Copies of this chain bind each other. A is one copy, B any other.
Amino acid sequence: MTDQAAAKLGTAPTDADRIDRIDPGHLRDLLGYHLRRAEVFTFQSFARHLKAFDISPGQLGVMLVVENNPGINQTRAGKALGVDRSTLVSIIDKLESRALIERASAPNDRRSHALMLTDAGRDFIGQLKPSLIAHEDEVARNLSADERRTLNELLGRIVGP
């Protein structure tokens, strides 16, 4: 029975009747709500497309930062990703145990590590890139190229001006 049919009969629709008509109420206007749902979808898409590589979004993020900033230290890599340096320790531990990344000694500061991709790490990124692109394309499947750029830009402005 639809809501309409129920109205005709003068009986209230039951929960089961409106299974696809849940009222999001104020949620519909909350950025936090839409961000959360988009993030969940994106995580699941990432997992589907990259499961063969056994890598998490956070781990890949570190690898991509290091790829473009060889020799960067952990604190600065954390800043690039917007997370605390303590968050990176276990991520880098895992990548290092797989010999994808290396904690090289920094020439001028014995406190810090100069992060470098290993040859295996570079190969790894080269191999997973098609899957990463397929993942991103799935996330943006309902967006035009323009909308995709706009979304990236607007999201960037949430973090900073």
Contact = CB atoms under 8 A, between A and B. Distances in A.
**Oligomeric state, in number of copies?**
2
Interface centre among A23, A71, A72, A155 (most CB of B within 10 A): A155
Interface string A133-161: 00110011011000110111011111111
A38 B68 contact: no
A120 interface: no
A41 interface: yes
Interface residues of A, number: 67
Interface string A47-79: 000000000010001001101110111001001
A26 B150 CA distance: 17
A161 B140 CA distance: 11
Nearest to A156: B34
Interface of A: 14-16, 19, 22-42, 46, 57, 61, 64-65, 67-69, 71-73, 76, 79-83, 106, 108-109, 112, 114, 132, 135-136, 139-140, 142-143, 147-148, 150-152, 154-161
